[in-house]
């Protein structure tokens, strides 16, 4: 019986090309800004030398979320790190800190903070890593209602906020350059529906995230921040505000893109970040 089994296996090997048994089908490819494929370890070696790493994700992409945790774990082996994320708003810092300190349960965090709908699958692993390893986790984003105020009434709407409310946003007045390509693109993409205040709401988020990164970062820590790719692509957004406040700060950016063919980075996706995670378009989404 054993000899018969071996014969069958040998026949299958001879009949079918080896490529059918070991096809190259990676879940993602990693490129540098110039579109050259690079290894994960080479990227990590570079990230560990920075002050701030901005990981730009596609919010519903499982590869983004998996790699975020992998990057955090890899950097933690070599550096003292601090974490932060767009997904947590600054007025929820108290609840987040209480959870990290073991003062409230995960259920208590869920009832105390405005968690994103994909928190349990996509962001809880990062938060729990911070909890298990006594790593600070900063809620960097502006409370969404204030972004909505700016979208409707401009930056001047923020002047009516009380002192406590102002402590949850970047210091006023908010620096703003309407000519930055990212903000210009928002107006173009929403042609006919956009108002001049809409990019200002985006800028408020970018400025606030940059503010709380710098407020909580100090040497020799490495601050790893998770945000939507649009907030840090093309070295704008959060990165622009970080450099405005601290020109000498060392920043590395990561963007996530999807393509039909990931063997080569498309020209439009090059130069948008120091590293680009390229995922196939048909990748399963988390929501």
Mean pLDDT value across residues 132-149: 98
Predicted pLDDT of residue 190: 77
Q: How far apart are CA 9 and CA 12, in angstroms?
A: 5
Average pLDDT of span 264-286: 95
Does 250 have pLDDT greater than 80?
yes
Distance CA 49, CA 36 (A): 21
The string of pLDDT tens digits covering residues 100-127 is 999 999 999 999 999 999 999 999 999 9
Q: What is the pTM of this model?
A: 0.91
Give me the chain's average pLDDT, please: 92
**Where do the H-state alpha helices sit in the chain?**
2-15, 40-47, 62-76, 93-100, 106-112, 124-132, 144-153, 163-166, 181-189, 198-216, 238-245
Q: Which residue has the higher pLDDT, 14 or 67?
A: 67
Burial code (b: 16+ CB inside 10 Å, e: under 16) for 261-279 equals: ebeebeeebbbbbbbbbbb
Residues 207-227 have pLDDT tens digits of 999 999 999 999 999 999 999
Q: Is 236's pLDDT higher than 60?
A: yes
What pLDDT shows up at residue 187? Answer: 86
The DSSP secondary-structure symbol of 169 reads S
pLDDT for the residue 189: 83
Q: Is the pLDDT of residue 4 over 80?
A: no
State pLDDT tens for residues 10-61.
Answer: 444 444 454 444 467 889 999 999 999 999 999 999 999 999 999 999 999 9
């Amino acid at each position: 019986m054993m000899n018969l089994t071996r014969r069958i296996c040998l026949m299958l090997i001879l009949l079918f090309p080896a490529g059918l048994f070991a096809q190259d089908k990676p879940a993602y490819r990693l490129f540098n800004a110039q579109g050259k494929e690079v290894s994960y370890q080479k990227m990590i070696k570079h990230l560990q030398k920075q002050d701030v790493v901005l990981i730009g994700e596609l919010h519903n992409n499982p590869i983004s979320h998996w790699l975020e945790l992998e990057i955090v774990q890899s950097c933690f082996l070599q550096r003292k790190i601090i974490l932060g994320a767009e997904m947590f708003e600054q007025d929820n810092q108290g609840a987040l800190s209480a959870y990290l300190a073991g003062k409230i349960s995960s259920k208590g965090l869920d009832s105390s903070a405005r968690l994103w709908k994909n928190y349990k699958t996509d962001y809880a692993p990062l938060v729990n890593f911070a909890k298990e390893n006594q790593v600070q986790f900063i809620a960097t984003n502006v409370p969404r209602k204030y972004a909505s105020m700016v979208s409707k009434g401009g930056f001047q709407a923020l002047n009516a906020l009380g002192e406590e409310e102002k402590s949850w946003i970047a210091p006023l007045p908010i620096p703003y350059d309407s000519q930055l390509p990212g903000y210009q693109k928002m107006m173009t993409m929403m042609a006919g529906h956009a108002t001049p205040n809409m990019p200002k709401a985006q800028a408020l988020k970018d400025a606030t995230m940059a503010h709380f990164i710098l407020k909580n970062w100090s040497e020799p820590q490495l601050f790893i921040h998770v945000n939507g790719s649009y907030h840090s692509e093309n070295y704008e957004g959060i990165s622009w505000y970080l450099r405005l406040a601290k020109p000498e700060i060392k920043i590395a950016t990561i963007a996530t893109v999807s393509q039909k063919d990931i063997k080569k980075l498309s020209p439009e996706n090059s130069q948008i970040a120091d590293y680009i995670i390229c995922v196939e378009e048909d990748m399963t989404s988390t929501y």
